[in-house]
Each structure stands twice: as structure tokens, then as C-alpha cells.
Amino acid sequence: MTMADRAQIDAWLRQAKADLQAGRTQSDDVSEDHRRYWLQQCCEKALKALGLLLWRGPASDDGTFRAHFLHKHSPLKELQQAAALPKSLKLLLREIEVELGKIDGAALLRKVDATTPTVDPAGVSYRYPFRAASGRHVAPCEWVTADWDGYQGNALGITAALDRFIKAVENAVKRQQRGPS
């Protein structure tokens, strides 16, 4: 890992922690859809830090790595759905899945990553109005915690999983800096 990689990983992790703190905010001034947005943002940034840490692809694949992972809203979902990825990105996806499996047995982080905001009125979004099964248009702020829990997973479980995830990435960075034991 180069110093530039370390600096970028650290920046992603600092922002992930800030997003997690915002997602933990519980007050009458913060609606559940906003909390869920920040939890998703935390997950996204922690995934990007992990992806940078694990990335070992050739320089010729760096542009594809950035286009299909670092510059995407739901990076894990993007890799899973992308067609014709180079071998290096397929390996990265497999490594990320292994790391997530170690800390997220309930797959909450995968579920959070998959909640990409969409302007499709038939798709649930924490940023844009959508159409409920009843056909009624719903503003995301109208959904209560139970609605979000059913869609994205329990918020307390998500915040605990995100805490574990950030700590796991930080520990992996430290291990990599120390080198082989």
C-alpha cells in the first residue's frame, strides 16, 4: 500500500465515521429516511476503503476499478451487476464478499449497499418519492422506522454492523502496514 493509497483509505474511513455518527442521530429534527441515507453513505465509504485496501489489479484495470467501484453509489451492487468485468475486479468482489462474511452474518451491509436511491417511482428510495404497493405516492419522510426496517434491515443492527465493519477495515490497514508476520 502506497502512502497515497493510505491517505485515501484514511479519508474514506473518516467520512464513513462521520456518516455513521449522522446516521445515529435520533431527534425530532431528523427523519428516518435521512438517518437511513447516512447509514447507506457510511456503508458505501467503508466499502470503498476496503476496496482500495484490497485492490491489487494491474494498472491497466485502474480505470475500470474507478468507474465500476470507486465512483459508484452502491459499489458492491455495481460490481455484482456489471457485465464483462476484468478478472481483477471479479477477484476484488470475491475478496470483499469474504471480508463481509466474516463480520456480517445477517448480510445487513449487503442489503444497505443495495438500497441505491432511484428515481424509478416503483422502486423504494430514501431520497425520491416512490409508489407504494397500494399505488399511493410516498415521500420517503413518511415511512416510519418499521417500514425502513422491513426494507433495509433493523437500524440498530445496521449501525452495529457498520461499527464492526469500520473497525475491521482499520485493523486490516494496520495489519497490512506491519507486513507479513
- What is 55-85 written as a DSSP string? ----GGGHHHHIIIIIT-SSHHHHHHH-SS-
What are 64-95's pLDDT values in tens digits? 999 999 999 899 999 999 888 999 999 999 99
Return the closest-CA partner of residue 106 out of 159, 178, 36, 42.
159
In whole angstroms, what is the distance from residue 71 CA to residue 130 CA?
25
What are 1-29's pLDDT values in tens digits? 677 789 999 999 999 999 999 999 877 78
Residues 6 or more apart from 76 whose CB is under 8 A from it?
Answer: 47, 93, 96, 100, 110, 113, 114
Total residue length of the chain: 181
In whole angstroms, what is the distance from residue 30 CA to residue 114 CA?
23
Return the closest-CA partner of residue 158 out of 138, 166, 81.
166
Phi and psi torsions of 100, nearest 5°: -65, -35
Quick one: pLDDT at residue 62? 94
- Residue 10, Cβ neighbours under 10 Å: how many? 13
Q: First vs last Cα of the chain: how many Å apart?
A: 16
Binning pLDDT at 50, 70 and 90, where does residue 181 land? low
Quick one: pLDDT at residue 172? 94
Domains of the chain: 3-120+154-178 (1.20.120)
